[in-house]
Chain A
Amino acid sequence: MYKSLLLLVSIHCCLLVSAQDMTGLVMKVKAKLDQVNDYEADGRMKTDVSFIKAPIGKVKVYFKKPNKFRLKKDGGISLLPKGGVSVNMNSVFAATDFVALSAGETVIDGTKTRIVKLLPSNENSDIVLTTLYIDETNLLIKKSVTTTRENGTYEIALSYGQFASYGLPDKVVFSFNTKNYKLPKGITLEFDDEKPVSEAEKLKNKKGRVEITYTNYVINKGVSDTVFK
């Protein structure tokens, strides 16, 4: 389904817009992000995966150029999607080697965005394709969809507020596919009956979301390397 959609979009692009090189736009966005050498921020993280029951947790996020990123929970346990580091946008641009193509325009949350397809030149790159939805006037990435070899496809939606000038989002919603989760009752030592069908169906919803709402960005005040270890 997804593939055919992609194909459809590609065909659409080719026919109507004719592939435009978007490297310039991407470099502009990258330059905006490059103002930030490092930051740390507090955040509230909500994990919304059908088979995970977790409370909202407080997290601390650290970033340092070029692509050091770390999400920390104070002493607690955090559940992150596999390859969860990608919550950070900078990693998208970490590789300088890519081809950026326009794939039209669309409206996200009332903002007109340009769809840009980033294709890494490196054949061995884990990322196969990244689609960015860029707000051209503010040079902000509103959404990105990344297809990887190892960790499936994930989507990041970003909303901006106070720190839009640095290209730093207030809220990041990371959506990803999850595999089915099921352990035999013999292992978990549960004796109860099977769940009712409706409830079981609910648990099969395979789209997972992790939502982080940021507060208190501290930008370019220096972050010790030790936090990334």
Chain B
Amino acid sequence: MWTLIQIELFKIFRRPRTYIAFAAITGLIGIIQFGLKLDGAAYIDFMMRDINSSITVEGKILNGYQVCYISLQVLLVHVPLLIALVAADMISGEANMGTLRIMLTKPISRTRFLLAKFLAATAYTFLLLVWLAILALLLNMLIFGTDDLFLLKSDYVVLLKKDDIFWRYIWAFAFAMLAMTTVASLGFLFSLFAENSIGPIVATMSVIIFFTILSTLNIPVFNKLKPFLFTTHMIGWKEFFDIKVNDANEAIVGSIQNPQKIITSALVLMAHIVGFVTAAVVIFKRKDVLS
């Protein structure tokens, strides 16, 4: 199995397409960094215009943690599309190249073959997120320094102390990993059904975009649907940046407002991953390879 995963990773990282996602993330983070470094004050003013009418916020709002949060907020909506690019190509790409035929005449059971491929896609997702963490968190901490994190939520604002943030990011990335793996498993499932990569990639992206729109729309009819959409749960990482307050309305350092919500979301995502991968295995085992 390990050999198989190694081979799959070797294949992934020898393909130019793989690096599109890394380049895209680097580019996007670079643009955010450049823009905020250059014109961050204006951005913060704009961000603060609603709160400034009654509260004056003083201090270095635009620090590395803030830039990381902004980056993640923007990027984690789009990283799934980059992951789809590789995950949805895992099987269909091989069918398209014709290599699936050779692969499946090798003495490896289809289940193992599929799981190895999925694990390789997961490893790719992991590396992509590590890269994102390096750029969005560590690099921004270097460039912009660290300070308290001031966040605007829809109904309230949250101020997190400087030394109560880093661990939240670690967990947030871990959660993002789960969310992105869900995307990878969906793309992976779709990749069984086509002999070209475009179809599954577009299908995965469409599902994500469609669900995300449904998740974002605040229309009562759709609100009932929201808990059943995995995209709703994908932004669960944000919950790590909400803090509990005591009766005196003091934030309790080191607390999370809604840990249950995170756990629920994580379980929903895991159930999706298991569901998608199991479906993929069941279908793939019975599939005739005609490419």
Query: Do any CB atoms of chain A lie under 8 A from CB atoms of chain B in the complex?
Result: yes
Q: Which residues of A contact B (CB under 8 A)?
A: 46-57, 73, 75-84, 176-179, 181-193, 195, 200, 203, 208
**Chain A residues positioned under 8 Å from B156 (CB to CB):** 50-53, 181, 203
Interface string of B109-153 (1 = CB under 8 A from A): 000000000000000000000000000000000000001101011
Whether A80 pairs with B58 at a CB distance below 8 angstroms is yes
Distance (Å) between the CB of A221 and the closest chain B CB?
A: 25
Q: Given A177-B54, A191-B231, list of 20 further CB < 8 A pairs?
A: A51-B157, A53-B156, A54-B158, A54-B159, A55-B161, A55-B251, A75-B147, A76-B162, A78-B59, A79-B56, A79-B150, A81-B56, A82-B55, A181-B50, A182-B50, A183-B152, A186-B216, A188-B152, A189-B73, A208-B55
Most buried by B among A52, A182, A195: A52
Whether B159 pairs with A178 at a CB distance below 8 angstroms is no
Partner pick for B218 among A48, A83, A185, A195, CB 8 A cutoff: A185
5 A-B contacts, Cβ less than 8 Å apart?
A55-B161, A181-B50, A190-B238, A191-B216, A195-B155
Chain B, range 227-255, C-beta contacts under 8 Å to A: 231-232, 235, 238, 242-243, 245, 248-253
- The reply to whether the CB of B105 lies closer than 8 angstroms to some CB of chain A is no
Q: Which residues of B contact A (CB under 8 A)?
A: 50-61, 73, 77, 147-148, 150, 152-162, 164, 215-216, 218, 223, 226, 231-232, 235, 238, 242-243, 245, 248-253, 257, 261
Whether A191 pairs with B77 at a CB distance below 8 angstroms is no
Partner pick for A82 among B54, B231, B248, CB 8 A cutoff: B54
Whether A55 pairs with B155 at a CB distance below 8 angstroms is no
Whether B153 pairs with A82 at a CB distance below 8 angstroms is no
Bound state CA distance, A82 and B61, in angstroms? 17
Whether B248 pairs with A46 at a CB distance below 8 angstroms is yes
Distance (Å) between the CB of B165 and the closest chain A CB?
A: 11
**Chain B residues positioned under 8 Å from A81 (CB to CB):** 54-56
Distance (Å) between the CB of B255 and the closest chain A CB?
A: 10
Partner pick for A49 among B52, B55, B61, B148, CB 8 A cutoff: B55
Distance (Å) between the CB of B260 and the closest chain A CB?
A: 13
Partner pick for B154 among A77, A176, A177, A185, CB 8 A cutoff: A185
Least CB separation from A152: chain B residue: B54
Whether A188 pairs with B153 at a CB distance below 8 angstroms is yes
Least CB separation from B234: chain A residue: A191
Whether A54 pairs with B251 at a CB distance below 8 angstroms is yes
Whether B51 pairs with A75 at a CB distance below 8 angstroms is no
Bound state CA distance, A182 and B51, in angstroms? 9
Least CB separation from A186: chain B residue: B216
Distance (Å) between the CB of B51 and the closest chain A CB?
A: 7
Whether B56 pairs with A53 at a CB distance below 8 angstroms is no
Whether B216 pairs with A82 at a CB distance below 8 angstroms is no
Least CB separation from B218: chain A residue: A185
**Chain B residues positioned under 8 Å from A186 (CB to CB):** 216, 218
5 cross-chain pairs, A with B, having the tightest CB-CB distances, nearest first: A77-B59, A54-B159, A51-B156, A55-B251, A77-B148
Most buried by A among B51, B148, B249: B249
Bound state CA distance, A33 and B198, in angstroms? 77
Distance (Å) between the CB of B274 and the closest chain A CB?
A: 23
Least CB separation from A49: chain B residue: B55
Distance (Å) between the CB of A85 and the closest chain B CB?
A: 9
Most buried by B among A54, A57, A176, A200: A54
Most buried by A among B152, B156, B160, B226: B156
Contacts A181-B50, A181-B157, A188-B153 given; indicate if A77 touches B58 (C-beta within 8 A): yes
Partner pick for B226 among A57, A75, A193, CB 8 A cutoff: A193
Least CB separation from A52: chain B residue: B157
Whether B56 pairs with A80 at a CB distance below 8 angstroms is yes
Contacts A53-B156, A77-B58, A77-B60 given; indicate if A48 touches B248 (C-beta within 8 A): yes
**Chain A residues positioned under 8 Å from B57 (CB to CB):** 77-80
Bound state CA distance, A75 and B215, in angstroms? 38
Distance (Å) between the CB of A81 and the closest chain B CB?
A: 6
